[in-house]
Amino acid sequence: MSNKLPKRSLQRRPTTIGSDSADAFRVDSPKTKGYGRYTANEIPLGLCSDVIYRGLSFPDWTRGSFVFNNEELQRLGSFLYTIKARSRTVRSHVTILERGKEAVSYSLMAEIPERRGAFVKAILQVLEQYGLHGAEIAWEWPGTTVKFGGISSDRESVVALLTDARAALKGRKKELFFMGAVYPKVLRESYRVTSICQLVDFVTLFTYDMRPHTNNVADVHAPMRNRSFEREENRMKTNVVDGVETWIEYGCPPKKLILGIGLFGQAYTLANPASYNVGAPTVGPGAEGQYYYEGYYPYYELCPLISSGWSIFYDPIGQMPFAVRGNQWMSYEDTNSIGVKLDFMQQKRLGGVVLQYVDYDDFWGFCGSQNPLTTFIYQRLKQIPSDIGFAIEWNN
């Protein structure tokens, strides 16, 4: 699992909350560096009905209360001011984040009833103060089966936290989202899927960035299915199809599942440039680009990059493209691979799609029209015969 991508969110969903399908997009943090700069003014609000601001860092525990960072709250307020000035109809949500190695803040809070109550109270205060419509719980990841922290009681604590949050938010007519992993160990040992899905309005699935550089294997980051060389137990079913179907098999209504799509490229450095097929050995992340972390490229950067001398290939099982130049190898989404995922969403009658992130799209139009992937999804969803909205995530 990779947690190197920064996160904030915007999400558009159906105007009919109980509809069969919805769609969501995520937007990464605004960058002040050249063409990477992106603000709330660039967000294509004409393509969305809801905005999820992703997000606020986990609040500090101070004298019996949870307190959010004041500077982050000010940025949230400024963001919402711009959104509301641009649109009177777009709905807004906020994500509460805790991530990275040894991230146990959610664990320590959720196992104690008094702290759970204080946490929910702090969230509700933010929702009321800023006129938000709901909150997303982004707990990456509960339990002790993954390297990012957690404790053995998390499986029960997740349900306890969501129970308290659901009661408080529903009483104020606010919505509750939960960001869900598709890693088999987390699904099997850290979640009570049926209970989670009974309590939340939507589960936003982490069906992107599923292949860390530490595996030392060149691979597309969001494969639809696994390949024969993937034999490690937890990796064998870490893919879009198995992940979604496991959530459904474990008792989650498909209409509550929001499929995640990453609008970024993940680059590797090949161990041998002559060996470049999927599954080839690598020695780490690819070269660092202009705007993001080593090994990650927003679509607006990778699109013109790979058109300048890179060779383009396609993984027929993972159903995603990848590009190669010398010892550099990069997987990414394009309209073909996204179309496959939208077909799958429609087939399974999922709640929709969430993009990671909308500001990774080619919003400058370097390769043609502005926001080509976002626009493609919007137009494709309009063709699906059900009530589908559009979601954008914004990263703080």
Q: Residue ranges of the domains in the chain?
A: 16-263+333-383
Task: Give the pLDDT mean for 360-379.
Answer: 93
pLDDT band at 384 (very low <50, low <70, confident <90, very high): confident
27-31, 163-167, 169-173, range with the lowest pLDDT:
27-31
pLDDT (average), residues 42-70? 89
Please tell me the predicted confidence (pLDDT) of residue 28.
Answer: 44
Residue 310 per-residue DSSP state: P
For residue 235, pLDDT beyond 90:
no
Question: In the prediction, which pLDDT does 101 show?
Answer: 54
pLDDT at position 33: 60
In the block, tokens 């597309």 appear at 220
The two beta strands, 50-57 and 391-395, are parallel
Cβ atoms within 10 A of the Cβ of 22, count? 33
- Residue 141: is the preceding peptide bond cis (ω within 30°)? yes
Residue 28 CA to residue 328 CA, distance in Å, equals: 24
Residue 233, Cβ neighbours under 10 Å: how many?
A: 8
Phi, psi of 214 (to 5 degrees): -65, -15
Q: Please determine, for residue 201, whether its predicted confidence score (pLDDT) is greater than 90.
A: yes
pLDDT category at 102 given cuts 50, 70, 90 is: low
How much is the mean pLDDT over the chain? 86
In the predicted model, what is the mean pLDDT of residues 308-321? 97
Distances 62 to 117, 138, 165, 205, 329 between C-alpha atoms, Å: 14, 21, 20, 32, 47
Instruction: Please choose, from the candidates 240, 243, 231, 234, the residue with its C-alpha nearest in 3D space to the C-alpha of residue 338.
Output: 240
| Nearest of 322, 236, 334 to residue 276 by alpha carbon | 322
- pLDDT of res. 241: 97
Q: Which CATH architecture has domain 16-263+333-383?
A: Alpha-Beta Barrel (3.20)
* pLDDT-wise least confident of 13-27, 34-48, 130-144: 13-27
pLDDT (0 to 100) of residue 106: 94
Helix (H, G, I), strand (E, B) or coil at 253: coil
Please report how the helices 372-382 and 335-348 are oriented relative to each other, as an axis angle in degrees rounded to 10.
30
pLDDT band, very low/low/confident/very high, at 18 (cuts 50, 70, 90): very low
**What 3-state DSSP class applies to 352?**
strand
What pLDDT is stored for residue 105 in this prediction? 92
Torsion of CA 361, 100, 390, 196, to 10 degrees: 160
